[in-house]
Amino acid sequence: MSLTGNDVLAGKGDFYTRHFQPTPREDTLILNMGPQHPSTHGVLRVMLEIDGEYILRAEPVIGYVHRMQEKMGERLDYNQYLPNTARVDYLHPLAWNWAYVGAAEKLLGLEIPERAEYIRVITCELNRISSHLLWWGTYLLDLGAFTPILYAFADREKLADILQRITGSRLTFSLYQIGGCKADMDDRFIRETKEFIEYMRSRFPMYKDLVTDNLILRKRVEGIGRITREECRKYGASGPTVRAAGLDYDVRRTEPYSLYDRFEFNCPVYEDGDALARYMVRMQEMEQSLEIIEQALKQLPDGEIMAPKVPKKPKPPSGEVYHAVESGRGKVGVRLISDGSAVPYRVKLRSPSYSNLSLFPCIAAGTLLADAISILGSLDLVIPEIDR
Partner 1 sequence: MSEITLNIIRIWAGLFIILSFISVNAIILVYLERKIAGHIQRRPGPFEVGPHGILQPFADAVKLLGKQIITPRYADALLYWAAPILSFAPVAVCFLPIPAGPHARVLDINVGVILILAFSGLNVLALCLAGWGSQNKWSLLGAARNIAQSVGYEIPLLLSVMPILMLSGSLDLNTITQNQGGWPWEWYAFKQPVAFIIFFVCALAETNRAPFDLPEAESELTAGFHTEYSGMGFGLFFMGEYTYMIVVCSMTALLFMGGWQGPFAPGWWWFVPKVYVLLLIMMWIRWTFPRVRFDQLLNVSWKWLIPISLVNLLATALVISLCC
Partner 2 sequence: MSGLCSLIVGLRITGHNFFRPQLTVHYPREEVTNLDGFNGHVELVPSPKDPMLPKCIACGTCARNCPSQCISLDFEKLEPATQEGEDSETGGKKKKSRKKVTRFTLDFNYCSLCGLCVRTCPVGSLRFSRDVYLAGFDPREFRLDLLERMRGQADSKGDKG
Q: Which residues contact partner 2 by CB under 8 A? A: 76-77, 79-84, 87, 147, 151, 154, 157, 161, 164-170, 174, 182, 206, 209-211, 213-216, 218, 312
Q: Which 8-state DSSP code applies to residue 13?
A: S
Comparing C-alpha atoms, which of 29, 30, 28 is closest to residue 18? 30
* Min separation Cβ 273 and partner 1, Å: 19
Q: Give the containing element (helix H, strand E) for 245.
A: none
* Min separation Cβ 371 and partner 1, Å: 7
> By C-beta, is 2 or 202 nearer to partner 1?
2
Separation CA 193–CA 187 (nearest Å):
10
Comparing C-alpha atoms, which of 73, 166, 168 is closest to residue 120? 166
The binder of partner 1 chosen from 49, 125, 371, 385 (CB under 8 A): 371
* Min separation Cβ 364 and partner 2, Å: 27
Helix, strand, coil share of the chain (percent; to 5): 50, 10, 40
Length of the chain: 388
The binder of partner 1 chosen from 118, 151, 173, 360 (CB under 8 A): 151
Q: What angle do CA 257, 258, 264 make, to 5 degrees?
A: 90
Comparing C-alpha atoms, which of 258, 266, 268 is closest to residue 291? 266
- Check if the beta carbon of residue 47 is closer than 8 Å to that of residue 360: no
- Check if the beta carbon of residue 329 is closer than 8 Å to that of residue 356: yes
> By C-beta, is 250 or 371 nearer to partner 1?
371
Choices 11-19, 122-130, 367-375, 380-388; region in contact with partner 1 by CB under 8 A? 367-375
Quick one: what does residue 21 bind among partner 2, partner 1, none, with the CB cut-off 5 to 8 Å set by partner type? none
- Looking only at residues 211 through 230 of this chain, which bind partner 1 when binding is defined by CB under 8 A? 214, 216-217, 219-220
* Min separation Cβ 247 and partner 2, Å: 31
The binder of partner 1 chosen from 43, 55, 116, 140 (CB under 8 A): 140
Counting contacts by CB under 8 A, is residue 183 touching partner 1? no
